[in-house]
Amino acid sequence: MTLANLLAIQRLLAFSATPEGVQRLLAAAVRNLADAQLAQLSAENRFDAAYKCIMQCAMLGLWAQGYRTSTSQPGHHQTALQALPLTMGLPNDIIIVLDALRKQRNLNDYEGDPISDAVVSECLAQAQALLAHTRKFLQTQFPDLLATSKKN
Amino acid sequence: MLTDLLFGAYRKKVLGLLLLHPDTDYHVRELARQTGTAPGTLHKELARLATAGLLLRKAQGNQVRYQANQQCPVYPELAGLLRKTTGAAELLADVLAPLQPTLACIFGSVASGTETATSDVDLLVIGDIGFADLVRATHPVQAELGREINPVVYSVPELQRRVQAQDPFVMDLLRNPKIFLTGTEHDLSQLTGHTASAGV
């Protein structure tokens, strides 16, 4: 499956992100990662914040390549994660883990299953790694999106 | 495996498929394909199991279909034996072994035999094991089972903390049926300080 195929079946939409938009989303991902490390929060909320950071990084990958997910389609989180090898060259080995974290989120949100310590620490580690990867990816492949336009 | 010894590898596969899907009837060729056996020998084998009352034989036109006979007096015991030794339990026990868990068991609908076509396999693993390692180890089994695996991993202290706090998820898990892959019911009650069916 290519990004163009995902566009054809309307799992993705064409989207032209602005540098301001990209920088705003990147800043939100950074804030979420910081919140995920607040020891006074519950395991559930730390997990949620780290997961949000992961999802925002996945969106940044899509935006940079000229796409966004179609939020009116079911499973847009899954689509965003599964696009990561295509957008930012992530290995499948990582996608398996990110997708398992997505399922944990569903079980926690909709059935109240608790989030274990192991899941919080894995989600945090994955968010940290993915945010660092996203930054580097944008800096090297799409530096224009990170440029500040404060000329006048 | 124990059931290979009791039934023979090939009879175990056929019985595992039929007795664990008692609402489905199968054509011989279908059974042969799903269990990787030769239809020729399977014909005789199935006829014998039907004569013994363990299977129902149904002629549909010129097709013969087989289904588990739930009225057979030993059906519940045999199905229980196969549930514990074939399918999810056998595959998961194999992939978990290298992680050396303190304890591992299947819980939820698959353990209680109330699963539907879309049920997940709920897996509890106790030990100092990372979530990513557990996910990577169990991931290939999902395709083989045609079911998603929902892994839950706790260290021994976290399990004990949750029992002490009467965490509803963990208390529910302790009360309900489990299929043990590593360790026993006794080992689990040693870890938690609770006996299996204790109302406390």
Nearest chain A residue to B128 by CA distance is A118
At B194 the pLDDT is 67
> What are the chain A neighbours of B158 within 8 Å (beta carbons)?
116-117
Average pLDDT over every residue of B14-36: 87
CA distance B129 to A129: 20
Query: Would the pLDDT of A123 be above 60?
Result: yes
**Residues B169, A107: C-beta atoms closer than 8 Å:** no
Q: How confident is the model over A46-69, as pLDDT tens digits?
A: 999 999 999 999 999 999 999 999
**Residues B169, A116: C-beta atoms closer than 8 Å:** no
At B5 the pLDDT is 77
Structure tokens at B49: 């199991």
Q: Which of A96, A108, A110, A126 to mutate to test the interface with B (most CBs of B within 10 A)?
A: A96
Q: pLDDT confidence of A124, banded at 50, 70, 90?
A: very high
Comparing B158 with A150, the larger pLDDT belongs to B158
Q: pLDDT confidence of B124, banded at 50, 70, 90?
A: very high
Tokens 């990513």 found at: B132
Q: What is the dihedral of CA B174, B178, B184, B186, to 10 degrees?
A: 30
At B62 the pLDDT is 84
Between A and B, how many residue pairs show a Cβ–Cβ distance under 8 A?
46
**Residues A100, B131: C-beta atoms closer than 8 Å:** yes
Q: How confident is the model over A138-149, as pLDDT tens digits?
A: 999 999 999 987
| pLDDT > 90: percent of chain B | 55
- CA angle in degrees (0–180, nearest 5) for A132-A49-A38: 90
At B199 the pLDDT is 38
At B79 the pLDDT is 87
H or E segment to which residue A20 belongs: helix A19-35
Average pLDDT over every residue of A7-29: 95
Do A76 and A21 contact (CB within 8 A), yes or no? Answer: no
Work out the mean pLDDT of chain A and round it to a whole number. 94
Q: pLDDT confidence of A104, banded at 50, 70, 90?
A: very high
Q: Which of B109, B121, B135, B139 to mutate to test the interface with A (most CBs of A within 10 A)?
A: B135
Q: What ipTM score was computed for the predicted complex, to two decimals? A: 0.88
State the pTM of this model.
0.79
Average pLDDT over every residue of B64-68: 94
Query: HSE (CB half, 13 Å, CA atoms) of A104?
Result: 29
Rg (CA), chain B: 19
